[in-house]
Amino acid sequence: MYIISGQNKHLILVSFLVYIFVNVIENLIHYNIGKFSNKNIDTDFEMPTKKDWIKIIIVMFVFALLQGLLTVWFQNINK
């Protein structure tokens, strides 16, 4: 049995997209917490630089793919 097959491709894609959507918001919050953690300002919010966005997106894509593959793998174990 292959992990990447017809129905599994759909599950991987949906899991991937949900992960990306939710984690964009989370990563922006974490980025700003890290950037302003040493300051007493609680209301600052900045968008990441282009270089930081590239790093964030690469990491998100790797973990989104892992999320999708692990979801299918665990689903197949439970069958």
Q: pTM, whole model, 2 decimals? A: 0.70
Per domain, the residue ranges of the chain are 6-77
CA–CA gap between residue 12 and residue 6 (Å, rounded): 10
pLDDT at 78: 75
In 3D space, the residue among 22, 10, 18 whose CA is nearest the CA of residue 75 turns out to be 10
DSSP string, 3-42: SSSHHHHHHHHHHHHHHHHHHHHHHHHHHHHHHHTTSS-S
**Are the beta carbons of 19 and 63 closer than 8 angstroms?**
yes
Tell me, what's the pLDDT at 41? 64
* Residue whose pair of structure tokens reads 């793919």 in the numeric block: 65
Q: pLDDT tens for residues 19-65?
A: 888 999 999 988 888 887 777 666 678 899 999 999 999 999 999 88
Checking if the pLDDT of 8 tops 80, the result is no
pLDDT at 42: 62
